[in-house]
Structure 1
Amino acid sequence: MPRSLAIAIAVTDVLFMSYWGIALLALFGALSLPPDMMYGDYLNPRVVAWNWSFFPLDLVFSIFGFLALSASRRGDPIWRPYALVSLILTMTAGGMAVAYWIILVEFDPSWFLPNLALFVWPLFFMRGLIRGMVPQTA
């Protein structure tokens, strides 16, 4: 696995697991989050539900990312499909969030830009991953 891809996956997945860990602590009242750091209308139950609807998707893309990193360290070529699944789901999560903020015409950089980055950065690695999975012909 290219070092740049390993770093991008590791940083993304560690940050997401941290985000959801903090969100879980807040959900159970173990942590109070400052309102100015939260996304727009974050106390609205529908918006809270929208945010939590990303939890399974984020969890799965992080699991596949960690599986890809682990397989790569072992030299197992299964890392490529694991990484590809992780990148596709990362793009999906980022794209869904970006679309939501665009529909609402809310461009708070602290929420919009990270989600835009989630949609864009995987594109830089997709072609190489896919080409690496295609058998080479003579």
Structure 2
Amino acid sequence: MSRVLGPTKTAMLITDVGLLLYWAVVFAGLIPPEYAYRDYTNPILSDWNHSFVPLDLAASLTGLASLCARAAQRPLMTVSLTLTSTAGLQAIAFWALRGDFTLAWWLPNLFLLLFPLPALVVLARGGERAPVSR
């Protein structure tokens, strides 16, 4: 397995399954609103949190598909990693604009923003030609 893409695949699997579980738990009502986002009485923040559903699902589903695909692995991985990083950036930008630097929000979103970047550089350069899992 490749030096960059191997660890990235592991991070993708954990992240993609984690995002799907997070939304399943949120929609099942198992996370009290005060833990889902900071100002749970503010419907705008609730809507903001839920606005990530399409982005997170697209990132997770393309990521999981890339881990199972052979022929389309590179393009699916590129799309998934780009969407994942975008989700992290979107959240970080929002909390920065609000002046809210709570580590509970920043750490997972910095992870989402940053972990895809090394693999995206490798994929964009066309390096590590055969990231197909065996």
With the shorter chain as reference, the TM-score category is 0.7 to 0.9
TM-score normalised by the chain length of structure 2: 0.86
Secondary structure of 2:126's aligned partner: helix
Q: Does 1:62 align with 2:65?
A: no
RMSD between aligned residues: 1.8
Q: In the alignment, residue 13 of structure 1 is paired with which amino acid?
A: D
Provide the residue aligned with 1:22 in structure 2.
Answer: 25
Given that 1:61 and 1:89 are in contact with CA atoms closer than 8 Å, whether structure 2 keeps it comes out as: yes
Superposition misfits of 4+ residues, deviation over 4 angstroms? none
Q: Specify which of 92, 98, 107 is matched with residue 104 of structure 1.
A: 98
Given that 1:80 and 1:132 are in contact with CA atoms closer than 8 Å, whether structure 2 keeps it comes out as: no
CA offset digits 1:79-112 (Å, max 9, x no partner):
0110000011001110000000000110110111
Q: How many percent of aligned residue pairs carry the same amino acid?
A: 41
Given that 2:16 and 2:63 are in contact with CA atoms closer than 8 Å, whether structure 1 keeps it comes out as: yes
Deviation of residue 130 (structure 1)? 2.0
Q: Does 1:33 align with 2:32?
A: yes
Deviation of residue 120 (structure 1)? 0.8
Deviation of residue 124 (structure 1)? 1.4
Deviation of residue 53 (structure 1)? 0.5
Provide the residue aligned with 1:7 in structure 2.
Answer: 10
Structure 1: gaps spanning 5 or more residues: none
Q: Does 1:84 align with 2:68?
A: no
For these two proteins, the number of residue pairs brought into alignment is 125
